[in-house]
Structure 1
Amino acid sequence: MNSGLLFFLSLLYLSVLFIVARWGENSKRLFEGKSAGFAYALSLAVYCSAWTYYGSIGRASTNGLDFLAIYLGPVVFMPIWWVLVKRMIRIVRTQHITSLSDLLASRYGKNQSIGTWVAVMIIIAITPYISLQIKAIGDSFYQLGGSDLPIWMSPVLFTTIVLCLFALVYGMRFLSGNQPKTGMITVVAFESLIKLLAFVFVAALVIYYGFGGISNIYHQAESIGTLQPHLNMDEDQQSNWFWMLIVSGIAFTLLPRQFQMGVLENKNEKHLNTALWFLPLYMLLITVFVLPIAFGGIVLFGEKVDSDFYLLHLGTHFGGKFMGMLVYFGGFAAATSMIIVSALSLGNMLNTNVLLPALLRVERNVDMSKRITITRRISVILIFVLAYYYYYFFAYNKPLVSTGLTSFTGIAQIAPAIFGGLFWKEATRKGALAGILSGFAVWFYMLIVPTLLTTQHLGEEFLANGAYGLTILSPTRLAEVMGMTPLSAAIFISLSLNTAVFVLVSVLTTPDRLEVNQAEIFTRINRISRRTYDQAEMWKAEVPFADIKSLLINFLGDRRTEEVLDRYARINRINFEYEKNADPRMISYAERLLTEAIGPASARIVIQSVAQGEELSVLEVIDILQESKAIFQLNRDLKAKTSELEEATEKLIRANARLQEYSDIKDEFLYTVTHELRTPLTAIRSQAELVHEDSDMPLEDRQMFMEAMVKECERLSTLITNVLDLEKFESGSQKLTLVKGHIQDVIDNSIRAVKQLIQDKRIELSADINPSIPACFMDVDRIQQVLINLLSNALKFVNDDGGQIKITAYVLDNSIKINVSDNGPGVPQEDRKLIFDKFYQAKNQTKRKPKGTGLGLAICKNIIQMHKGKIWIEESSLGGTRVSFTLPLYIQKSI
């Protein structure tokens, strides 16, 4: 492929990263809801660098299954990772920590020396790892596009410069290291998707299109005697596996880029739950095709090409230049995301633990805010320069995996001090520093020294025979004496010595007061909320407010100082115009602000320069935290009680409303009953008076009045019976007499009961009853009462001569459904639910009411509900009303 075109496309891709970062900073939806959890989990996939993308295939082609340990380690370590990272997130938030070295410095008494030592050692350990990514970019470019570009168009140099600019723009433009870096997170998540999709797509194409499937690749590998040696593991490889599992699990937690994305950039602890299942799935997808691709590369190319780049050559071989470019940009994404985050993290450590302390020793009373911004940028530039320098002079001929494993082992040297410091109160600064230095010395001697000497072709005799001719002192021969690989021996000796020295020195030394205080805070962090810690008074001193403000302006600038002081005043409801002195809580607040800008050790020194006071004892710290926690808990309890009272008040209001409603219903019920009783009584009385007063009334008239009085008495009797029935239903005293019967018989009896009325009104009645309806348990008399009531209602509302009533019954969903339809005026939609209320017809005084008690449908509803059925109103096919109800087929006889 034309190298000039590839160079242009690489620059175009780098330009896209700036666009994506800009979009990420302006996008709010990306960091809200579920998408925020996935963005966080994707950003943690920065663990899968160019080593994963290219180096795993190279490792698999020479060592078989050995490559998997680097990914199984994090997966096995994931539950422990969740616990550790959650604890570190809480510590970082309460202590306002901005880097891995600051975490150690803060834990061990906010001590400058341990922060500086750790920062320098981490930079030494990780810089080769960054150079590894630079090497991967350069090698993949030259493998695909050749090396015919002029020296001033070096893709490695240009990429390094552009990535440095990106880190400066989207990582170091803020004074505080804790400012959210949404642009950078978006780019890292974006590149995590790019590298995964590119790898899986091209690998699947090569395997299934190029070779015809995984089985074909394995058959071909077996035919040339490659398969079994790569699938079997000897004792050295098994030993390597164990130690690589340990060191990769530690590295997944403590690599600067993992700490940056997993701890510092975490805004919600719940996102850890997403990462807990997402990251193992991601690692499975990006490694599942590694071994088949390695075998395919061996079969097709053998040693003709660099095994690290088998995927690149296979993609080009089977898919042409486009597939080759897809592989290239996937690897480019894997490398650039790691370079950006690692350089940013290391630059921050270099700034707060090396450059700024040196600057503060020289100048402190000048405007430091601008100098801090400058040193932050210089520190990042220095990291890029160091990484490029190491690449140019040392890394060009080193395999990707060997450099990565060396860095993993180096970063593991801080594990005992960090993990011990999180849980063990007795861990001391001297113990931590002694352990780190001893482990780091072994790591440097056994892994870095051989690299430096062999690269420069120096010290061959030293490597072969050891110092003073003692083989045991040879960094390479020592592993042979122990019967281990150099890597396994280095991991075992360095971590064992590190841990032993850390524990022993911690037991033998006494920590100072501040160190003990920090130990209490770190080990109790799960019982301390950020708000509790922020409200705690960690100083025994009062300082003129003007001095604190002047100090903040000096380091944060005027604008930032005004913002933070205004926020503090609003939260604590104070007015600084009337405050002459800054209380201990304000001093602690100022220290936390300075910690974000210059690190915990420097912040402590600066605050001590104006706040001369006695340090708190450990008991006082515990009392303060417990008191603050008690106050915070009291506030929470008060809020909870207030909420409970509000809820109780709302319930009382609702209960009063229901009582009022029931009272209104009772009053309406009594009014309606008395009205319904008075109407027939009035008629009976008036007719009786007429008969009584007119003794000469003709017999026919007298007979007519007597018949009318009998009908009104029957109406009274029906009303009283219905009221008594309804009271029994609603009180629960009414019982059903269940017998097994057929609904056909009940419907026939009901029709016979109203047959005379039907004939008198000349109404057309039809019945369509499915003959296959089985018998079921029911109270026959009550169901017949329901049907007669529904038929009577239909008769009232249909017109004479032309009225239609239809009864249908059939089985539906294990129930018998009965419908009584008519072609009357129908029931409005809004009245259909209310029509089953007691005396519903009394509520519509503007309408002409038919004769009736207004209780019939209410009784019907209770009867059907006692049968575990339902009753409702719906549209009729005849144009009027259809009343439907259901009876369960399998109703229990015991109801």
Structure 2
Amino acid sequence: MFEPLLILVILLLYMGLLFAIAQWASKRTAGQGFKNSPFIYSLSIGVYCTSWTFYGSVGSAANNGVLFLIIYLGPTLVLIFAGTLLRKMVRVKSRHHVTSIADLISSRYNKSQTLAAMVTIVCLIGILPYIALQLKAITNTFNLLSANGLASTTTSSSFNVEMITVVLMIIFTILFGVRHLDPTERHQGMMVALATESIVKLVAFFLAGLFVTFGLFDGFGDLLDQAERLSQNHLALQKMSQTPALTSWVTLAILAMSAFLFLPRQFHVMVVENANEQHINTAQWLIPSYLLLINIFVIPVALAGMILGHGPEQADTFVLLLPLQADQRWLSLLVFIGGFSAATGMILVSAMTLSTMITNHLVLPIIESIGRLRHLRTHLLQLRWLAVAVFISSGYLFNQVLGNTFMLVNMGLISFAAILQFAPLIVGGLFWRSANAKGAMAGLTAGFFGWFYTLLLPTFIKSGWWPQDWLDQGPFGITLLNPEALLGLSVLDPLPHAVFWSMVLNIGAYVAVSLSNSSSKEEEALANEFIDILKEETRQLPTLDQEENILLVSKVALLRGCFSEYMPTDLVSSAINRCIQNTNLEGKEKVSLLQATYLKNEAETILSGAIGSAAAHKAIQRSNIFSEEEQNQLSTMYSDLLAEIHLSPEELWSKVDYYQEREQMISDHAEQQQHTIERLESEAIQRLNAEQALKELNEKLEQRVEQRTAELKSSNVNLRSTLQQLQQTQKQLVEADKMAALGGLVAGIAHEINTPLGNSLTAASLLKDEYGQLSGNYQNNSLTRSDFDNFNSVANESLEIILTNSERAAQLIQSFKQVAVDQTSDERRNFQLKHYIEEVLFSLKPLLKNNAHEIAVSGDEINIDSYPGAYSQIITNLVMNSLQHAFAQTDNGRIQIEIKDSGESILMNYRDNGCGMSSRQLRRIYDPFYTTRRGEGGSGLGAHIVYNLVTQQLKGQIDCKSKVGQGTVFNIRLPTKIPSDKKNAVNEPHQNEDTADKPPDEGSNDFVI
């Protein structure tokens, strides 16, 4: 026995340890350590094993034999056979920002707030007994462990420990479950703490089982032998060996499978906290192993307790009572901590998830409907804290009122049966396309009524809260309405009876109402998306070329106003930034209507994380993000197509492919059938008629062939003429672009030459003035030696200036002359490549005069036999492309040109650190007339000219790599000596989708920012 105060101190220390573990895990950088491990995820699912498992399983085994195993066989069957269902829920959670089981159901059924509220109410009524179960277990075991021995649960010590537990659970839940407004945020600290508790309760129960089996007895064989000898005169032992009814097996299996998937706490740890779908693979073997280990000693402990003289009514405490009676104080304390872990883990997660559901689906709709309360929308986080406190306190009050009425296992089954009402809605919603919101509400209402009338009402009657006559004679004396024998069905036990009627009512109403009411277009689209959520997307989402004429700032202002109704200012800015980043709209001033649609959908997804999908949908709709004109445009774009086929855009392409393949298959089959029919008909007709028909057919066919041939000849003539015109036009445009570039170059050179000429004129003018003064002094006979020396100094300086600037002008003229001649000539000659490129860049220097751009050339000096004019045009076009496009938003860009000798070829690497290109732009870079700056000076021919010069005139290869924000790289391979063959070698560009999406590797010739 322990003093109550010592036990309380130990509990506080244990909770402090869990607090420290959770705090440590929360502060570690995302992705580090083991907190993102699949083992942490799997062990946290062990929250399924509550005090019912830790204490109540032994009680169930003592009263019903091996029937308790079904509670753990159900989850095993789910993990083995329902992996697809679990993965669907995880995928839906990620796509729709689902925060709870109510949010999942609401999202599937047209984001119905009414349905979400109904689910929340069912959870509250169903889970409160389960919370009371945990508090009852803590109270009973505390009294058993304390020095008060078997004191009543109404003693002050029990009251204190229960109240302390409630306070600790409220604080711990708020700190690590409700810290932030968005409950889809992963609570990694809490998950690590839950995994720790799972290990603690497994170790504690396992050690207790080992002690009982091998410490108090000589192993399993000894236990079974003694039990067999005593069973002849021991009714409880005889009952343990009886085979349970099949209906009980099936009922418990259904309840266990449903509870494992759909209990709010299980949904949260398995779905909401899932960061990687692959973690499910680990859980599929780890959780069954965990359940096996924690239950392996349940039967031995139950047998040991009854062999030692305890009755089955005490079996809930056997796992703690037996070590206590054997004076194993520290083992008893460890067992108590294990049971405490089992209870508190369930309370923590349930309170966190229920607080979110209460706030989003009960409190928030009330606030929205009452104008005076709308200011509370910005205090949702504080309302969740209050919901945590109220929910846990309600569990405490429930235990005080009803906790002493039933055994632990009965209270747990009440909750399991309530949660079962969600199963048809979720399973049907993920696999049945005809399900709709009206059917879901009808099914949930009917099922909840059946659960309440056939299971919860008898609980109240047996507790003395309702007349006993309802169970004995039926309400108002109507036997057919007996809650435990409804419509005369008295062959089933109370639990199978309640499950049967609740499911009949639930599924019947769900199916009947869904089939009798057609789904809306939105519901059908959601149904298709949920059902096909696991299908792989085989092609990229199509984009429409639309004019970007909508001011982004106006849409952001509307979204900011919507978010401000529910979030503090700092969270609003963060949420807006996430919307813009997730839709790739950074840096844009105007967007297209399609991009604005993506922005709206992303905003709804992010807001749903804070207030639930149903409330978020209504809030976004209420904000009028789109004007009436924009809505009409959207309707024109989508309604005609998507409303009829009921598909989301992501599925449209795959469906088109599917039906095209199906059409082809049907056409082929129809053609084969037609051939068969024709053959059979021809055999049935007389040979003469068949020959005549064949002759006529041949004549007609020849006429059609001749007619078609004539049409094709005429078409070919027209096409040839059109092609010649296009080629001539393209040639003229290329020449025009070429001369325009040369004209710009001439203007720049003229401006550059003007500077040294101006300096020379200034010096000459000064020299002329000095000479005139000297000549005047000479004529007046007033010339002195100092005057002559001064003139001599000025003359030397002026002549030096004139000479220097004249040489500078001559150098510019010579450089421009060579470049201009090369650009307008197809002459082939030997030249030094690096030196020539430097001359070309020198001629382009005026273009860089008004900014801080840098151009650097490095590498080997290589003598080549080629066309210098082509090289000049390549460098000029690449530099102009960088200046006009890559550096459009910056004044300090950098261009690096690197030349390498590779034997019979050279490698020229051109790179800039500009804005880069998207994969879509990169695919079209060599297309003629393609430009991103239409109307701003860009002709769209620069890259096209470069590609033609490299691949045709210079017979080389060009490869472009780029990524948004990481610059652009052109890798050009050219022969050092052009072959004499004049035929153009057309090479395809070497960029592709994979290349476009990957940044250049370090250590290569590629440019990396």
CA–CA separation in structure 2 for the residues paired with 1:440 and 1:589:
35
Change beyond 3 A, Cα 1:531–1:292: farther
CA–CA separation in structure 2 for the residues paired with 1:252 and 1:533:
36
Match of 1:134? 135
Match of 2:598? 585
Q: CA deviation at 1:251?
A: 1.2
- The amino acid of 2:384's aligned partner reads R
Change beyond 3 A, Cα 1:396–1:528: farther
Change beyond 3 A, Cα 1:528–1:369: farther
CA–CA separation in structure 2 for the residues paired with 1:60 and 1:567:
53
CA–CA separation in structure 1 for the residues paired with 2:442 and 2:578:
42
Q: Match for 2:534 among 517, 526, 530?
A: 526
Question: Any residues of structure 2 matched to 1:488-887 within 5 Å, and which?
Answer: 488-527=496-535, 544-571=555-582, 572-575=584-587, 583-611=596-624, 613=631, 617=639, 619=642, 622=647, 624-626=649-651
CA–CA separation in structure 1 for the residues paired with 2:395 and 2:525:
38
Answer yes or no: is the 8 Å Cα contact 2:64–2:239 preserved in 1: yes
- The amino acid of 2:212's aligned partner reads V
Change beyond 3 A, Cα 1:531–1:378: farther
Match of 2:201? 195
- The amino acid of 1:164's aligned partner reads I
**Unaligned residue ranges in structure 2 (runs of 5+):** 657-917, 926-958, 962-970, 975-1009
Match of 1:402? 410
Q: Match for 2:366 among 330, 350, 358?
A: 358
CA–CA separation in structure 1 for the residues paired with 2:923 and 2:655:
15
Q: CA deviation at 1:533?
A: 9.1
Alpha-carbon deviations, 1:718-753, whole Å to 9, x = none? Answer: xxxxxxxxxxxxxxxxxxxxxxxxxxxxxxxxxxxx
CA–CA separation in structure 2 for the residues paired with 1:534 and 1:313:
67
2:454 pairs with 1:431? no
Match of 1:341? 349
Answer yes or no: is the 8 Å Cα contact 2:435–2:511 preserved in 1: yes
Change beyond 3 A, Cα 1:366–1:533: farther
Length-normalised TM-score, structure 2? 0.60
| Structure with the larger RCO, 1 or 2 (CA within 8 Å, 6+ apart) | 1
SS for the counterpart of 1:175 is coil
CA–CA separation in structure 1 for the residues paired with 2:171 and 2:616:
28
Change beyond 3 A, Cα 1:305–1:152: closer
Alpha-carbon deviations, 1:38-90, whole Å to 9, x = none? Answer: 00000001111100000000000111111111011111222233211110111
Answer yes or no: is the 8 Å Cα contact 1:55–1:401 preserved in 2: yes
Change beyond 3 A, Cα 1:529–1:457: same
Q: CA deviation at 1:31?
A: 6.1
- The amino acid of 2:527's aligned partner reads A
Match of 1:666? none
Q: CA deviation at 1:315?
A: 1.4
Q: CA deviation at 1:28?
A: 4.5
Match of 1:223? 229
CA–CA separation in structure 1 for the residues paired with 2:302 and 2:189:
36
Q: CA deviation at 1:250?
A: 1.4
- The amino acid of 1:59's aligned partner reads S
Match of 2:338? 330
CA–CA separation in structure 1 for the residues paired with 2:542 and 2:237:
61
Q: CA deviation at 1:532?
A: 8.0
CA–CA separation in structure 1 for the residues paired with 2:543 and 2:180:
26
Match of 2:269? 261
Answer yes or no: is the 8 Å Cα contact 1:66–1:241 preserved in 2: yes
Alpha-carbon deviations, 1:827-854, whole Å to 9, x = none? Answer: xxxxxxxxxxxxxxxxxxxxxxxxxxxx
Match of 1:289? 297
CA–CA separation in structure 2 for the residues paired with 1:144 and 1:204:
20
Answer yes or no: is the 8 Å Cα contact 2:484–2:498 preserved in 1: no
2:425 pairs with 1:414? no
Change beyond 3 A, Cα 1:516–1:81: same
Match of 1:251? 259
SS for the counterpart of 1:482 is coil
Answer yes or no: is the 8 Å Cα contact 2:208–2:331 preserved in 1: yes
Answer yes or no: is the 8 Å Cα contact 2:264–2:350 preserved in 1: yes
Change beyond 3 A, Cα 1:413–1:492: same
Answer yes or no: is the 8 Å Cα contact 1:413–1:439 preserved in 2: yes
2:190 pairs with 1:167? no
CA–CA separation in structure 1 for the residues paired with 2:60 and 2:544:
53
Match of 2:51? 50
Q: CA deviation at 1:494?
A: 1.2
CA–CA separation in structure 2 for the residues paired with 1:637 and 1:204:
66
Alpha-carbon deviations, 1:798-851, whole Å to 9, x = none? Answer: xxxxxxxxxxxxxxxxxxxxxxxxxxxxxxxxxxxxxxxxxxxxxxxxxxxxxx
CA–CA separation in structure 1 for the residues paired with 2:655 and 2:524:
22
Q: CA deviation at 1:319?
A: 4.9
SS for the counterpart of 1:575 is coil
Q: CA deviation at 1:377?
A: 1.4
Q: CA deviation at 1:497?
A: 2.4
Match of 2:188? 182
Q: Match for 2:162 among 156, 159, 162?
A: 156
CA–CA separation in structure 1 for the residues paired with 2:22 and 2:113:
34
Alpha-carbon deviations, 1:471-499, whole Å to 9, x = none? Answer: 23111244984311100111122112211
Answer yes or no: is the 8 Å Cα contact 2:44–2:195 preserved in 1: yes
2:109 pairs with 1:117? no
2:303 pairs with 1:280? no
Change beyond 3 A, Cα 1:30–1:306: farther
Report the number of matched residues: 644
- The amino acid of 1:575's aligned partner reads G
Query: Which of 473-482 and 386-395 deviates more?
Result: 473-482
CA–CA separation in structure 2 for the residues paired with 1:345 and 1:589:
24
Change beyond 3 A, Cα 1:28–1:623: closer
Match of 1:663? none
Answer yes or no: is the 8 Å Cα contact 2:378–2:565 preserved in 1: no
CA–CA separation in structure 2 for the residues paired with 1:534 and 1:298:
70
- The amino acid of 1:250's aligned partner reads S
Q: CA RMSD in A?
A: 3.5
CA–CA separation in structure 2 for the residues paired with 1:334 and 1:31:
27
Change beyond 3 A, Cα 1:468–1:568: closer
Answer yes or no: is the 8 Å Cα contact 1:544–1:580 preserved in 2: no
CA–CA separation in structure 2 for the residues paired with 1:369 and 1:531:
41
SS for the counterpart of 1:397 is coil
- The amino acid of 1:97's aligned partner reads V
Match of 1:858? none
Match of 2:392? 384
Answer yes or no: is the 8 Å Cα contact 1:140–1:309 preserved in 2: yes
Alpha-carbon deviations, 1:135-179, whole Å to 9, x = none? Answer: 111111111113496369611111011101111111112011111
Alpha-carbon deviations, 1:736-771, whole Å to 9, x = none? Answer: xxxxxxxxxxxxxxxxxxxxxxxxxxxxxxxxxxxx
2:81 pairs with 1:72? no
Match of 1:93? 94
> Percent sequence identity over matched residues?
31
Answer yes or no: is the 8 Å Cα contact 1:347–1:383 preserved in 2: yes
Answer yes or no: is the 8 Å Cα contact 1:464–1:477 preserved in 2: no
Alpha-carbon deviations, 1:405-461, whole Å to 9, x = none? Answer: 111111011100110000111101111111111111111111111112222353111
